Structure 1
């Protein structure tokens, strides 16, 4: 069986080679390096790709030639437009190491009867750990202390939340979205003995309660939580779901955390919420424009902790992913349904 693996600066072909060890069915293996050669340029490419889809850039011709007789394609950031499915006559399965499938023409894959397996779990633990880190950093003023001592050479005592600096222990934490990352954040929060509220209209009540959580409406979660953490996926219904109305529902002493995607948040409303004191503070990891513009008003705020879109950026998040998706491929070839199958309707064809 032939597999074509397309790596990049974030998940190099070398990691894919390491991940394929132990999967003996792939007697023919081809590896390619796609796209920008710096992480900075790759971030720009990804932003464009997530907006424009599978036709953001052409697939290199050398890759198009090799996929013609491939049984399996494994990609990461490389686009997979409709012509891939027309040319790859022998294709049985498409694997992507991304959580999102913006770079894949899913409709064309489905029409061709090709299952598409994604991997939103590849960086889930990394994001979950970062979420807890940002909660602590914002609530305990870690970034502000660091900046005061290194940039201003000052020993700082006063902060926007002075008089309201709480521990996480015993707080009420609300998770918006209860997918893979939400589950892991809930697991980590158990060590802090929090009261856990969860809003996710697609999650089963029993799975929420299994994590010692309470299913609530979005309005209840926003009104009762000391910490609100965003873990929803971007969709037509979730885009901009945190706006002025929602921020005004939160406690004035509450903290907002976003390690999900920026389109979920009305950033102008977030700015006003922090500037005008609707909420106490926030910590965010991604932005509408990256790198963030130098004149972005968010940068003027003293009650906002910043991260440079690094929540999922760990060695393990990338290095472990190829073996994870190949394990799902094994399920497929043994007649089982893979986890994170994006077009299950093809299984009936």
Structure 2
């Protein structure tokens, strides 16, 4: 079996190769390193979030029947150029760098790696909440520039605690559940709005299921953890922001498209929004003239929520395990296009 390990500067081809050799004896593995995250991902050949070029992948496959990757673009052109390909294992929460329709037409099974960064993203979200609520980055920057901001201890500028605060989570998947558990340990009251979550399961976690508008009205801190779909695009817009308590904190470490960024500068300048913490954007990276660069009380980081070494190892292990199952003829764990399996059998 010839396998292409199409890695990058986070989940490197060497890491993928190690995981594959631990799973399989005698596999022939070749490597390709793509430029992400040194260079941002973007649309490539019809897929929305990929790194590198179609031609790089076509040439690197060179007869491989299996590929493991995180960011390589698997497009219709790639599948047409490699008719021998039978499996693409993607080390992400969803195979957004794969043209799933083209893969299905080509008879290629596509798997993915749900939950591989859940712990990392959850911890980061809580860190962003604390950073925004207590103005940690701003005060750090001021001190390093020689300014002692004792005035931030004054009551009007003092932060708020998680203990006793109501925090609303929009979305309650693997990441949201970990965030809720951590917040409850801090002493926060946690509300959840997720139409796909079982209310009984939510209550069993010690969390209150509510509708979105109720969550926004009652929460001093709101954190987004939903998937981006046509239905959730700009889920939080100007009308929804108006429901939030004056001075509330908003956190987005999920997907940029969940949030309409246009009304945020005015909301921050007016104090309607007390602070904003974002790790994802409608355009990545945001432009130099991005209005939020000049807005007060903004914590902004360059899409780092999932960036832990454990996540990289976990992703490599999950895709290697799928290749092992494929090689042994066992059922695959996370298949995005299961109809293909009937055609392969």
| Fold-level similarity (TM above 0.5) | yes
Could you tell me how far apart the structure 1 residues matched to 2:342 and 2:204 are?
33
Give the 5 Å matches for 1:152-167: 152-158=146-152, 162=156, 165-167=159-161
Query: Which structure 2 residue ranges, 5 or more long, are not aligned?
Result: none
CA deviation profile, 1:31-84 (whole Å, cap 9, x unmatched): 2223x3x744x21xx1344985389864236x5356354332112211111233
Displaced runs of 4 or more, over 6 A: 54-57
Query: Does structure 1 residue 177 correspond to structure 2 residue 171?
Result: yes
**Match of residue 136 from structure 1:** 130
Q: Is the 8 A contact 1:239 1:265 kept in 2?
A: yes
Aligned positions of 1:309-324 closer than 5 A: 309-324=303-318
The answer to whether the 8 A contact 1:54-1:80 is kept is no
Root mean square deviation of aligned Cα: 2.7
Q: Distance in 1 between matches of 2:247 and 2:16?
A: 46
Deviations, residues 75-122 of structure 1 (Å, cap 9, x unaligned): 221111123333444433210123343321100112233221122422
Equivalent residue for 2:142, pick from 141, 148, 173: 148
Q: Shift in Å at residue 134 of structure 1?
A: 0.8
Distance 1:82 1:161 in 2: 59
Question: Which residue is 2:23 aligned to?
Answer: 23
Tell me, what secondary structure is at the counterpart of 1:85? helix
**Closer, same or farther in 2 for the Cα pair 1:57/1:274, shift >3 Å?**
same
CA distance in 1, matches of 2:194, 2:6: 34
Alpha-carbon deviation of 1:181?
1.4
Aligned to 2:162: 168
Q: Find out whether 1:60 has 2:52 as its counterpart.
A: no
1:321 match: secondary structure:
helix
The answer to whether the Cα contact below 8 Å between 2:232 and 2:258 also exists between their aligned partners in 1 is yes
Aligned to 1:95: 89
Aligned to 2:9: 9
1:338 has 2:338 as partner = no
Q: Equivalent residues in 2 for 1:1-349 (5 A)?
A: 1-24=1-24, 27-34=27-34, 36=35, 39-40=37-38, 42-43=39-40, 46-49=41-44, 53=48, 58-60=53-55, 63-64=57-58, 67=61, 69-158=63-152, 162=156, 165-331=159-325, 333=328, 335-339=330-334, 341-349=335-343
CA separation of 1:211 and 1:326: change in aligned 2, threshold 3 A: farther
Residue correspondences, number: 342
Question: Shift of the alpha carbon at 1:3?
Answer: 1.7
Question: Which piece of structure 1 moves more, 288-297 or 211-220?
Answer: 288-297
Deviation at 1:224, TM superposition (A): 1.0
CA contact 1:2–1:26 (8 Å) conserved in 2: no
Q: Tell me the distance in 2 between the aligned counterparts of 1:293 and 1:30.
A: 37
Contact kept? 1:49, 1:102, Cα under 8 Å: no
Task: Evaluate the alpha carbon distance shift between residue 178 and residue 330 of structure 1 in structure 2; reply closer, same or farther with a 3 A threshold.
Answer: farther
CA distance in 2, matches of 1:138, 1:161: 16
Compute the displacement of 1:245 (Å): 0.4
CA distance 1:298–1:50, shift in 2 (3 Å): farther
Moved more, 20-29 or 121-130: 20-29
Whether contact under 8 Å (2:50, 2:71) holds in the other structure is no
Q: Which moved more, 1:85-94 or 1:178-187?
A: 85-94
Q: Give the gaps of 5 or more residues in structure 1.
A: none
Q: TM-score, normalised on structure 2?
A: 0.89
